[in-house]
Amino acid sequence: MKPAAFDYHAPGTADEAVALLAELGEEAKILAGGQSLVPMLALRLAVFDHLVDLRRLDDLRGIESRGDSVWVGAGTTHAAVGRSPEIRRAVPLLHRATPLIGHFQIRNRGTIGGAIAHADAAGEYPVVALTLDAQMHTLSPRGQRTVAAADYFTGMWTTAMEADELLTGITFPVWPGRSGFAIEEFARRAGDFAMAGTSIAVRLDADSRIEKVAVGLFGLAPTPLRAAAIESELIGRPVAEIEAAEVGRSATAALDSIPADIHGSADYRRRVGAVMVARAWTRAVEEASND
C-alpha cells in the first residue's frame, strides 16, 4: 500500500516548526527519522493531512556534556548516539541500549527524539530515559518547558506533549561513584521489539550497600514502568545479601496490565520479565562492585 495524500512541510528552524504545528493543529504530524511513522503511513494505520519534516533542523542534533548531565538533541540519530564517546563514558546505559534498536539501517535514520516521542512501551530509549530520570525539553509557541520522564509517558503511544509542542532535546543525569548499568531484553528475533525487558542502574556506597537504584521495565505494560516497590526495598541493603532472582520476582509480581497476544500470554511475559531483571541485576551489580 501507499500513504494517503498529504501536504509536506520542511521548516528551517524549530520556531518555524512549532508555528506550523500550531497553525495546522491535529491534522499535522512530525516526521523525524520516520522509522516508525512511515511504515504506519504506508499501511494506512495512520493518516495525516500534513507532515512536518524536521531533517533541516540542525539545532536539534548534537551531544553536549553539561556539568553533571549530558544533553542529546532530539534529532540525533541512534547511530550517532551509539558512536559517541561521551555517551559511552557518561551515560553507559544509553550506549548499551542503542545496538538493541532494530537494525543498522533503522539506527542510521531513526532519531532519539522520534523514539521517545513515539513512546512505544516496548522501545529501549523510553525505558532508559525513565530509568535515569531524564528530562525532556520541549518547545511550543508558548515557549520552552521541561518535563520529567516520570511525567512524560502517559499511555500507549501517548505523552504529556501538546499537539503544538516539539521535543527538542533530552538531558540524562550522570551517575557518579560506584555505579553499574545493564539492559536485558527478550525478543523473538534480533531487531524485533522486546516481548519483555528491563534496564537497571545501581550505585553502591563505600560499604557495598545499595545507595541508589532504578529498575525500569518495558514490554510489560502500556507504558515503560519503574518498579518502585522493589527499588524502595533495596535501598540500604548490603548487595551481597540480595539474590538476583528475588529482585526479578519482586519487580514483576505486581504488574497488572501485561499484554498478551499470539507471541505469549501475560503469565509467560511476566516470567520472562523476571528472568531479564535477574540477569540485568547481576550484570549491573558486578559492574558497580568492580568500580
267 and 190: one domain? yes
pLDDT higher than threshold 70 for residue 157: yes
pLDDT of residue 267: 97
Is 2 part of any domain?
no
Is 1 part of any domain?
no
Distance CA 20, CA 29 (A): 10
Q: pLDDT tens digit string along 206-220?
A: 999 999 999 999 999
87 and 13: one domain? no
123 and 199: one domain? no
Domain hosting residue 249, numbered range: 178-290
| pTM of the predicted structure, to 2 decimals | 0.95
Q: Looking at 11-25, 33-47, 61-75, which range is the least confident one?
A: 33-47
Task: Tell me which of 116, 143, 173 is where a domain ends.
Answer: 173
Q: What is the CATH number of the domain that holds 42?
A: 3.30.43.10
Q: What is the CATH number of the domain that holds 219?
A: 3.30.390.50
Q: pLDDT tens digit string along 121-156?
A: 999 999 999 999 999 999 999 999 999 999 999 999
107 and 142: one domain? yes
25 and 82: one domain? no
169 and 184: one domain? no
Q: What is the CATH number of the domain that holds 146?
A: 3.30.465.10
pLDDT of residue 93: 98
